[in-house]
Structure 1
Amino acid sequence: MQIGFIFSLVFAIIIAVFALQNGEVVSVDFLFASVEVSQAIVIFVSAALGAFIVSIMGVVRQVKLKLKLKDQDKKIKEMSKTNEELETRILELNKELEVNKSIEEKMIKSGKEDIENRINGNKEKAKSESVE
C-alpha cells in the first residue's frame, strides 16, 4: 500500500513539473464550446480525471471481490454443514454395520450349534439303532 502511495506521489510531482513547464495558453474545443485556458490547467484536470476514473475502477473491483468473498464464505458454510451431516450419517451407518455384524455372528454361532446338535442327534439315533 505504501509503495502505491509513493508511486502516486512521484507521478504527481512529475505531472506538476511537466504542467509548469508547459504553461502556455491553448484553445480547448469541447462539443460546442471553445475556451482559452492555460495548458497547465488542462494537464492538471486531465491527470485528476484519470486518477478519479482509476479510483472508481478500484472501488468497483473491491466491491466485486467483497461480494465474491461473501458468496464463497456462504458456500463454505453450506459445505461445512453438509460435511457435518455426512459425518454424522457415516457414524450412524458404522453403528448399524456393527449391529448387523453382531447379529450375523450370533446367527452363525446359532447355526453352528444347531448343526452340531443335529449331528449329535443323528449319531445318537444311529447308535441306538445299531444297538437294537
Structure 2
Amino acid sequence: MGILNSLSKLFPESTGSDTGFWEALPDPETVESFLDDTGGTMVIFKNSPYCGTSMFAKNSLDALDPEKWTGIRFFMIDVIKERQISDRISKLFGVRHESPQVLVIHNGSVYWHASHARVNAEQLRNTLRSI
C-alpha cells in the first residue's frame, strides 16, 4: 500500500461534487432510472484519482466551458470509490470499462466513447459539435 499512499498525495481524490461543473451520479441501484429521466445529451467521465493518464485527461476536460454546451449534463465517476456505478454504466451501454474513459450519451444511446490517451477536450468538443 505504500505506492498507493504515495500516489494519493500526487493525485488528490476528487468526485463530482467538488470539481466545478462535474455532477455525481446516484447509487448503482437507481442509476438506470436516473439516466432515463435525464434524457437528452450527457457526458460521463470515468476517472481514477490514482492514475496519471486519468489526471491528464481530467485536466484537459476541466478546461471545457460547460456554459457553451447548453442542455448537456456532465457527470464524473470515481472508478475507485464508485466502481459499482461504473460497472453498471458499462453494462447498460455495452461499453467495456476502462479508465480514463468518456462516454457521450445522446437520446439514450452511446453516441461516442474514448479511453486512455484519446480522452481530451478537443476530441470531446468535436464530438459535441457533431450532435
TM-score (norm 2): 0.19
Q: Which structure shows the bigger proportion of residues in helix conformation? A: 1
Higher RCO by CA contacts (8 Å cutoff, separation 6 or greater): 2
Q: Which structure shows the bigger proportion of residues in strand conformation? A: 2
